[in-house]
Structure formats: structure tokens, C-alpha cells
Amino acid sequence: MLFAGCSTVPNGTPQSIWIETTGYCPCGKCCGWHRSWIPPFRPVYSSGPLKGKPKKVGITASGTKAKKGTIAADTHYYPFRTVMYIPGYGTGKVEDRGGDIKGPARIDLFFNSHADALKWGRKRLRVQVWN
Ligand SMILES: [Zn+2]
């Protein structure tokens, strides 16, 4: 069955896995960047090995544009383009990674606004995974 606005899921039987999900958005709080103090005030990483280096805001680790349906996961377990169905969120695809997204039981779900990401909060759900 197809719903408007939803991407299709692959053929085959998905695995059903308990995963702790959190929401994130492109903002500095969620993605660890702040604006440089030097004009033109470009976004730079706030911490980690890339601290102070320019950051492309809204671009995922796989190089796609982050949008609703973008999932951040540990790509050792869920490689880029793994399709997942998250109850209450919908169908998404692994296109990103996150600093504290480690292991098979953690994913981060993209929202367009920080308010929506906060509203999702943290939910432990049975996620359908096609891989
Ligand atoms: Zn945010």
C-alpha cells in the first residue's frame, strides 16, 4: 500500500528490532556547531577532532541533503541507504551518523525544526529494518 508523501519500502521481510530513537534537526545544539566569530560568521564544529573547522549545515554524512526521513545510525550495523520504518515517524533511510549514535539499538531521526525534534524526544520502539 502507498501513502502520499511516504517512500516505498523494499521487497522482502524486515527485521523487527527494539531501537532507542531520538529526534534531531540541523541546528547547532543538535549537530554540534556554532557560528564563527570572524565574518562572514560561517558555521564551524564546536568540539571533537574537527573543532573550529567549517561545517556544512544540513548535509548528511553520506552527502545528501538532510530532510524528514533522514536517519542517523551507526553505519557499522546499518549501512547508508538502509531503509527503516519507525512507528509514528514513517519510512526513512540511513544517510547520516551521530557522535553518540553507537551500536545497533540507537538511531536519530531528522526533523525540520528544533521544536519538532524536542517534541519527539526519546522513544524506544520496534523499528522495521530492511537490510
Ligand atoms: Zn536542533
Looking at the predicted structure, is the pLDDT value of residue 5 above 50?
no
Task: Tell me the domain boundaries of the chain.
Answer: 15-27+60-130
Per residue in 66-125, pLDDT (tens digit) is 999 999 999 999 999 999 999 999 999 999 998 889 999 999 999 999 999 999 999 999
CA 110 / ligand 1 centre spacing (Å): 9
CA 6 / ligand 1 centre spacing (Å): 23
pLDDT of amino acid 7: 61
CA 1 / ligand 1 centre spacing (Å): 33
Give the span between the Cα atoms of 124 and 99, in whole angstroms. 19
DSSP-assigned letters across all residues of 30-64: HHTEEE-SSTTT-EEE-SSTTTTSB--TTB-TTSS
Superfamily holding 15-27+60-130 = RlpA-like domain (2.40.40.10)
Give the span between the Cα atoms of 110 and 117, in whole angstroms. 7
pLDDT of amino acid 99: 82
DSSP 121: -
